[in-house]
Amino acid sequence: MEKHRVTFGIVNCNRHFYLKSCLESLLYCTSDYENKEIIVVDNASIEDGTDEYLVELKARGVKVFKQQKRNPANEFAIGLNIIVDNATGDFIVPLQGDMQFVLKNGWLQKYVNFYWEHIDEVGCIMLDAQRNVTNQSHRYSHPSNSDNIYKFVYDLDRPPTCCAGDVMYSKQILDMMGPWKGKDNLSHEGGNDSETDMLIRVNEHILKNNMKLFCAIPLVAPAAAIYTDSRGTMARIRGNKRYGDYWPPKDDFKYYEIFDFDDCKISSELRTPVGIEQLAHPIGWKAPIDNNGNWMKAPIKPETATENDYVMLYEEVNDNIIKAADEYLDEWLDD
């Protein structure tokens, strides 16, 4: 078995289709790496099929934590902290649950090897492929890579820790970061949130201690964000609404084709990360590509959204709303 244990944790809220795609593709694409554990934190979802899937996951050995109460401004940070507090891995990968893994086998060992070789200078390693326009506009440095084929670069235009997850952290980096702010956030995002608070604290610590940390990116990413809205966004939960088009994958758990790591032809001359435009091949639907060949990105803003842009999950969300789980779910999750 591999020397270093990896913990993957997913925070979910009323996005069962995404959760299943993310988790099942993760298991499929890391089947060659045995020394791992999976944690799922569900934030009081009421979506059909979620409770049954959580029961199934627990029976399959996944650590499941079911929150009984919504706390929109704070629940994501709380979920991240639950993952970190219960993780036993040397490396920990918190996920937002809206990406699918597309590279089968091989890549996780490459991640662990690179991180371990550069343990004192890597803040995190990203997982999902970015758009070409982003990759081409960023500056990179090129650290030593013991692997001559599957290489990583340092993105000099990103903070060394991506405080919303979807990256791999070492245990020592998470110890340095401390917990996410799990109370008194004014919103899930936008400035008065746990991600911004964490980013400020980490940057202050790095400057105070004269640390040199970098966000690493593989030249070929193992995952892609799930864009079910043709405008260029995924469905997002904000308060009691789900914004954006949302539908299940056309092929079991797969929104995108999955490629075998050994079949990937990676040029030794590659210097810039491969974009999502090249990596993500949709199954049964069209990628949101504009007339210039660029993957579109247009998240729906709640403050400007129309009634056609969202689905109401329940009439209101406040501290008194409690999601009552079925008795059989409590029996499984609370034993």
**pLDDT tens, 222-274?**
999 999 999 999 999 999 999 999 999 999 999 999 999 888 777 777 889 99
The amino acid that residue 148 corresponds to is N
- Domain locations in the chain? 6-322
pLDDT of residue 306: 96
Selection from 87, 172, 148, 96 nearest residue 127 by Cα: 96
| pLDDT given for residue 173 in this prediction | 95
- E strands of 51-204, at which residues? 63-67, 91-95, 99-101, 103-104, 122-126, 140-141, 152-155, 167-170
Q: Is the pTM of this model over 0.85?
A: yes
Considering only residues 328 and 280, tell me which one the structure prediction assigns the higher pLDDT: 280
Contact 173, 94 (CB under 8 A): no
Mean pLDDT (the chain) is: 91
The b-or-e profile of 212-245 (16+ CB within 10 A means b, else e) is ebbbbbbbbbbbbbbbbbeebbbbbbbbbbbbbb
| CA proximity to 90, closest of 107, 113, 106 | 113
Q: Comparing 194-208, 253-267, 321-335, which segment has the lowest mean pLDDT?
A: 321-335
pLDDT at position 277, please? 98
Instruction: Decide: 214 and 155 in contact? Cβ < 8 Å.
Output: yes
Assign domain 6-322 to a CATH class. alpha beta
**pLDDT score, position 322:** 38
DSSP strand pairing (122-126 vs 140-141) = unpaired
What span, in angstroms and rounded, lies between the C-alpha atoms of 66 and 155?
36
